[in-house]
């Protein structure tokens, strides 16, 4: 029985030569797929040649040697590789007349173009992945059909960003664009959730792919959806695609025959977040009347009672996830002492101004009062929110500068700078 099995394998490997002969007939007939048959023939021949060169048909005591078996195995493997190549699914595009029963036109190489309606979208960047940001629906004005071999065949979209596969987001098959955080999906009949990227989809179960719904020459309806995907959308105005109107191609078959080419323009505008900056209870602090004796303590370095105020961001147009702040001296005041003792001089320098007195500014938190450092930026990351956001809790007081003190007015101004994202 074992000898019979080996004999059968020996005959099977000769199928590669028969397939090669069929390939030559296809070449002679000018078949569009002749190149694939020829490749299969070469692989089969090389497999058999390698097997024959590496081993000789040696028999000992009437038993076929292992070397002979390897020759058969290599030959059979070559035939299988040949079959894999020869049975590739290719598609040919044919122009479709209005009357589907009438003659069709000549084969064409380029797909039918469909220009999608331009979309203008304004986003905040806070939209959840899967959110449909914009829709454009249009019916193509022309159609064709594809005749495919060995169906169903691989099909799908080739998009703006080469080599990027489609992903499923919010139930849609989405391809990324050249704008971070923005993807697109093109849906049509039979692909209601969007055509996947090539070669993840399949088409042509009946041997043909119609680019019209009924084969009448009337083009398919297509729906372009702009969809939020993971990523940070850049602020300002972005155009999709960035360089040209090409959006993508729907291709089918191992030869990537174009079914439809899509073009259009999508303009994405991400508005910068705007917040109102406010001080609570007020941006002006009135110290009232401070006894001179209170500041004259500690060698004229005493301090009045603290006055409290908070700096806040409110009514933000979109969520803020981080901010930074710094303080500088404004007006005719100047820093007194070290940069990080938060003290500025009295701007009232005329005869009405107090002498030997300054204003100290600092933060107030669970650790107590800490003088600020002038022109030093402090940054903070926070959970996304539109506010109100307390940037910093402040405290301020009048302070003796260690000099003789005389009564009078005290005026000073500090400037707060806040940046947020």
88-120 tens-digit pLDDT:
678 887 655 433 443 333 333 444 555 566 688
Q: Are 148 and 209 in contact (CB under 8 A)?
A: yes
Q: Which of the four pLDDT bands, split at 50, 70 and 90, describes residue 229?
A: very high
Given a cut of 90, whether residue 81 has pLDDT beyond it is no
User: Given this model, what pLDDT does residue 146 score?
Assistant: 75
- At 208, is the pLDDT very low, low, confident or very high (cuts 50, 70, 90)? low
In 149-235, which ranges are E strands?
153-158, 167-169, 172-176, 182-187, 201-203, 208-210, 221-228
Strands (E), 319-388: 320-330, 343-345, 357-365, 368-371, 378-385
pLDDT for residue 5 is more than 80: no
Mean pLDDT of 127-149: 81
CB distance 172 to 215 below 8 Å: no
Give the E-state strand segments of 253-319 in sequence order: 257-263, 266-270, 276-280, 307-314
- The residue ranking higher by pLDDT, 35 or 175, is 175
pLDDT (mean) for 6-21: 48
Which of 263, 249, 264, 221 is closest to 93 using CA atoms?
A: 249
Residue 351 scores a pLDDT above 60:
yes
**In the prediction, which pLDDT does 409 show?**
94
Q: Strands 236-240, 266-270: parallel, antiparallel or unpaired by DSSP? A: antiparallel
How large is the average pLDDT for residues 245-266? Answer: 81
Residues linked to residue 20 through DSSP beta bridges, in sequence order:
none
Alpha-carbon dihedral 60, 62, 66, 70, rounded to 10 degrees: 120
pTM: 0.55
The answer to whether residue 83 scores a pLDDT higher than 50 is: no
Residue 341: its pLDDT value, please? 92
Residue 28 confidence (pLDDT) = 42
> What is the per-residue pLDDT for 176?
92
Confidence band of 27 (pLDDT split at 50, 70, 90): very low
- pLDDT for residue 73 is more than 70: no
pLDDT score of 362:
95
How many whole angstroms separate alpha carbon 303 and alpha carbon 94? 91
pLDDT digits (tens, 9 = 90+) for 288-325: 999 988 898 888 889 999 999 999 999 888 888 899 99
pLDDT band at 71 (very low <50, low <70, confident <90, very high): low
Q: Residue 340's pLDDT is what?
A: 93
More confident residue, 299 or 394: 394
How far is Cα 309 from Cα 261, in angstroms, rounded to an integer? 61
pLDDT in the model for residue 332: 85
- Confidence at residue 8, expressed as pLDDT on a 0 to 100 scale: 46
pLDDT for 161? 81
- What is the percent of the chain with per-residue pLDDT over 70, rounded to a whole number? 67
Please report the pLDDT score of residue 23 as a whole number: 44
The whole-number pLDDT of residue 241 equals 73
**What average pLDDT does the segment 357-368 reach?**
93
Mean pLDDT over 56-85 rounds to 48
Q: What's the whole-number mean pLDDT along residues 347-360?
A: 93
| Predicted local confidence at residue 181, as pLDDT | 93
pLDDT at residue 7 is higher than 80: no
Rounded Cα gap, residues 297 and 307, in angstroms: 19
Q: Kindly give, in sequence order, each residue whose CB lies less than 8 Å from that of residue 183, ignoring residues fewer than 6 positions away.
A: 167, 169, 174, 175, 176, 177, 226, 227, 228, 229
Average pLDDT over residues 65-69: 53
Q: What mean pLDDT is reported for the chain?
A: 76
31-40, 62-71, 236-245, 336-345, range with greatest mean pLDDT: 336-345
């Amino acid at each position: 029985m074992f000898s019979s099995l080996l004999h059968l394998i020996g005959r099977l490997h000769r199928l590669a030569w028969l397939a090669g002969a069929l390939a030559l007939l296809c070449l002679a007939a000018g078949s569009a797929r002749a190149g694939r048959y020829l490749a299969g023939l070469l692989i089969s021949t090389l497999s058999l040649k390698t097997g024959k060169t590496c081993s000789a048909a040696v028999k000992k005591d009437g038993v076929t040697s292992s070397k002979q078996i390897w020759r058969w195995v290599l030959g059979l493997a070559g035939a299988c590789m040949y079959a894999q190549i020869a049975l590739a699914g290719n598609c040919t595009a044919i122009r479709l007349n209005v009357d589907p029963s009438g003659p069709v036109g000549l084969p064409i190489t380029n797909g039918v173009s469909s220009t999608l309606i331009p979309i203008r979208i304004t986003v905040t960047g806070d939209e959840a992945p899967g959110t449909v940001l914009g829709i454009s629906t249009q019916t193509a004005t022309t159609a064709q059909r594809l005749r495919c071999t060995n169906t169903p065949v691989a099909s799908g979209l080739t998009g703006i960003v080469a080599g990027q596969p489609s992903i499923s987001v919010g139930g849609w098959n989405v391809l990324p664009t050249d704008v971070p955080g923005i993807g697109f999906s093109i849906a049509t009949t039979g692909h209601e959730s969007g055509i996947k990227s090539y070669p993840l989809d399949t088409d042509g179960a009946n041997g043909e792919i119609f680019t019209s719904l009924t084969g009448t020459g009337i083009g398919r309806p297509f729906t372009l959806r702009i969809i939020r995907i993971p990523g940070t959308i850049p602020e300002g105005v972005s155009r999709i695609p960035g360089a040209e109107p090409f959006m993508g191609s729907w291709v089918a078959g191992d030869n990537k025959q174009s079914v439809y080419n899509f073009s259009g323009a999508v303009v994405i505008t991400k508005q910068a977040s705007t917040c109102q900056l406010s001080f609570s209870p007020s941006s002006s602090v009135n110290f009232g009347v401070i006894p001179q004796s209170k500041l004259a303590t500690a060698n004229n370095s005493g301090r009045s009672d603290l006055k409290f105020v908070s700096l806040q961001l409110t009514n933000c147009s979109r969520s803020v996830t981080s901010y930074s702040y710094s303080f500088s001296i404004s007006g005719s005041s100047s820093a007194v002492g070290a940069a990080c003792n938060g003290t500025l001089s009295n701007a009232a320098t005329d005869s009405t101004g107090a002498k030997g007195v300054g204003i100290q500014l600092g933060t107030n938190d669970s650790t107590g009062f800490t003088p600020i450092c002038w022109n030093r930026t402090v940054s903070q990351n926070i959970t996304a929110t539109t506010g109100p956001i307390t940037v910093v809790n402040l405290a301020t007081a009048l302070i003796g500068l260690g000099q003789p003190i005389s009564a009078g007015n005290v005026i000073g101004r500090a400037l707060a700078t806040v940046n947020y994202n």
